[in-house]
Structures are given as C-alpha cells and as structure tokens.
Amino acid sequence: MARQEQEEHTKRWCALPEPYPKPMVVQPNLYYAQLLLEDYAGSLSEMTAINQYSYHYLMFVGEYEEIAHLEACIAIIEMYHLELLGETIKLLGVEPKYRTITGNCQTFWDASHVFYGTGLYDRLAADIAAEKLAIKQYRTHQGLISDKYINILLERIIKDEEHHLKLFLHAAARFCPDLFRNIDEEKPGNA
C-alpha cells in the first residue's frame, strides 16, 4: 500500500492518528501464518468484522445515522487491517485466502460468522463483544508469535480495536443506556 493511502486511514475520525508499521517478517513461518489466518478470516476475524459492521451500517442508515456512520468508518479501518494481515501472511509463505488452516484442513470463511441481530441494542452489544474478543485473540497470538515485526503490527491493530471499543461503548451509553449499564456492571471490581 502506498504511503499516501496509509496516511488516509489514520485521518479517519474513527482511527487513531498513528502510523501503521510496514508488514515485515523475520522469516517465513507456517505456524505464524496459521495464527494470523484466524485473525484474517476465522470466525472471529477482520473479515467477519468488516461484514458485520457493513451489515449493521445498512440496517442503521436512515434511522440511526450517527451509529450507521460509525459502523461504516470502523468497517473501513477493519478492511485496512485485513490488508495488512494479508500482506504479512504472504510474507510468511502462505496464500492469504479467506480461510483458516488447522492441520491440513482448510475452513473457508462464510457469512454465518456475522451477527446480524434484530435491533440497535443487540447489534451494538455484538459489536462491543466482537471488539473485546478481537483484542483478546490478538493478545493471545502476540504471546505465541516470537517475530518482533509481526508483534509490532499486532500491537498497532490492537490500539485501533481498543479505540473502536471505546467508540462503540460511547454509542451504547448514548443510545442504549441500559446496555451500557449492563456492560459497566460486568467490569472487574463491580461485583
């Protein structure tokens, strides 16, 4: 991706204004590629987030314009994450097809991973949960990967996901105060 295009992503209102590292790896590594394929196109992945947020945008537009635009903006940032992960997977020696690999078995991404929902409350709750789970999965993968370049990239992606979580929580607090109260009660120390 050209530097100018990369800078455009950091100028979006739903992105952090920090540069992204260039995809690099110490050396090809099939195991690391398999881990990144989970982030790329697993059930909990950038591919799922893009499609879920795009669908939620379509359902919110015309009724909840502010949230619709939030969903669209975040989906675009997730597309950039998908691109960065895809480039890294290629550098690791694996084709970045929309699938995961466990052993010798490929499982291709499908739209059943998307949480479609029925209304504002459950869609925002699903988006919040997706961001929390993505952060957790990226952290787990950081612990399993000893490649400093990949971990720097994952850390930058995690920062975006944490920012997206804050944006979704803010939207929930504003448009679904009961949802926000329930989420707040789940925080450690609030038992």
Q: Which pLDDT tens digit goes with each residue over 9-21?
A: 556 778 888 999 9
Average pLDDT, the chain: 91
Residue 103, pLDDT score = 83
Residue 120, pLDDT score = 95
Residue 191, pLDDT score = 44
Distance, in Å, from the CA atom of 122 to the CA atom of 50, rounded to the nearest integer, reads: 17
CB 93 within 8 A of CB 27: no
| Per-residue pLDDT reduced to its tens digit, 81-140 | 999 999 999 999 999 999 999 888 999 999 999 999 999 999 999 999 999 999 999 999
CB atoms within 10 A of CB 74: 28
Average pLDDT over residues 162-167: 97
CA 181 to chain centre: 24
CATH architecture of structural domain 26-107+115-185:
Up-down Bundle (1.20)
Closest CA to 23 of 156, 159, 149: 149
| Per-residue pLDDT reduced to its tens digit, 33-53 | 999 999 999 999 999 999 999
